Amino acid sequence: MPLIPLNSPAPVAIVGGGVTGLTTAFRLRQRGIPSVVYESGPRLGGPVHTTERDGYLAEDGPNTLLETSPKLRQLIDDVGLKDQCLTSDPAANQRYIVRGGRLLAVPDSLPGWITTPLFSFGAKLNVLGELLRPRGRAGVEESVADFVRRRLGQEFLDYAINPFVGGVYAGNPERLSVREAFPKLHQVETRYRSLFLGQMLGARERRRSGETPKDRAPKLSFRHGLGALVTALGRELGAAIRLDSPVTVLRRTTRGWQVTARRGDGETTAEHSAVLLAAPAHRLAGIQLDAGPDATLAWLGDIHYAAVTVLVLGFRRADVAHPLDGFGALIPEVEKQAMLGAIFSSSLFPGRAPAGHVTLTCYLGGSRSPELALASEETQLASTREALGRLLGVRGEPTFVHRTVHRQAIPQYLLGFGEFRARMTALEQQAPGLRLAGHFRNGIALTDCLMAALQVAEEMAESFGKGVHA
């Protein structure tokens, strides 16, 4: 990797003050490389934001951080959050899926799988037949739905993968690319032919790498919610952060990069040696890029985002019939319910509700019903309370309501999304010193964004010739 000279007091410009940009800036600072974080809005963190009110704690976006790598625990320690870190209650590991209007536990063992009423006898036989099925055709990009139908059958798609995709992407498995949205699933089939064989034969490899699969990774948060991570990173970076500073122009020069940002009624221009683009794709698309013939960021605006509303509701414990003995419930599209699903937040971590009360975090909209994601609060509350009444036996008025509407919440890795990734790589090669990272490229989960930030920070540090902590 060619070395980039340190041409300014803050050689790296980071566009976007979400967790990807903040974590990259923090790790670079540990390596002795200062940066400036340009955030277009009045606060940091993007969707990672926590509200505490009246004894309740509500998350505007993600509810948990999956500890898939020791690097994440090290990051938590480095920013001073070791003593505030919480691991979810082991009793809350149970997950539910709705079938026939009832919450059914997802089996977590072979005996449970054999006896579960979640799937018919025929569907169970069909899943077992996956061991004998051939690989898909090489070079053919499949949707998640087509992949699952081919390997596991329609019923498994309807009552396992469809609700799972709704809970993760708020997306449509008929349109999502299995290669882009679930690359490990695609890789397992390519390498081992069978998903079951891959699960068994790949276990040793996973142990050797030290990585933990997401479905088995410990679920983490903090006493004051995931927003504590944003607060800690912001505190560490201090004066390196520029709030209310949307970047308008990036210009490649012989010395590096000129970054122009709006500040109040005027503009400021600063020199940097390298630039990381870590804001949402639809925001980056509006930046003018002057970096050679045909260089532009406008095409990033073509990445589709799903709209989602997060509705956090508190109830008296006595007004909820269900024991809430798990992580939460996902709702298949075929069940025709208003919600995508709900997390039993107060079952996961302490301090999410006052004594004698519970907190439910409900998700509405997505690709399944975008109109509901943008409906009025009155409409959303009415449909959500009706669904909670049917599924969880919730009655009475909520004692807490916190609503967050994300008009462009989650990027959708649709069929053909690989072309976007290829263009990102080509742009980085065309414009040395320019990097792109974040949920529009590296995976949509909070864990994915943090791991991408740590990786890109190491790569940028190497490009400056800083191989050890300063």
Q: Locate the domains of the chain by residue range.
A: 12-47+225-303+414-463, 120-209, 305-411
Q: What pLDDT is stored for residue 445 in this prediction?
A: 96
Q: Which band of pLDDT confidence, cut at 50, 70 and 90, is reported for residue 470?
A: very low
CB 162 within 8 A of CB 332: yes
Residue 443 φ/ψ region, left for φ over 0, alpha for ψ in the -120 to 50 degree band, beta for the rest: left
pLDDT digits (tens, 9 = 90+) for 294-345: 899 999 999 999 999 999 999 999 999 999 999 999 999 999 998 999 999 9
Mean pLDDT (the chain) is: 93
Helices then strands, counting H and E runs in the chain, come out as 18, 21
The reported pTM is 0.93
In CATH, 305-411 is 3.90.660.20? yes
DSSP type of residue 27: H
Lowest model confidence (mean pLDDT) among 164-168, 187-191, 288-292, 341-345: 187-191
> If you classify domain 12-47+225-303+414-463 with CATH, what class do you get?
alpha beta
Q: Is the pLDDT of residue 390 over 70?
A: yes
Q: Which band of pLDDT confidence, cut at 50, 70 and 90, is reported for residue 218?
A: very high
Whether 305-411 and 12-47+225-303+414-463 are alike in CATH topology: the answer is no
Rounded CA gap, 115 and 317, in Å? 31
Q: Which band of pLDDT confidence, cut at 50, 70 and 90, is reported for residue 467?
A: very low
Between the CA of residue 15 and those of 46, 193, 283, 387, 430, what are the distances in Å? 13, 41, 10, 40, 19
What integer is the mean pLDDT of 403-425? 97
CATH assignment of 120-209?
Answer: 1.10.3110.10
Q: What pLDDT is stored for residue 212 in this prediction?
A: 81
Lowest model confidence (mean pLDDT) among 83-97, 211-225, 364-378: 211-225
Q: What pLDDT is stored for residue 8 in this prediction?
A: 67
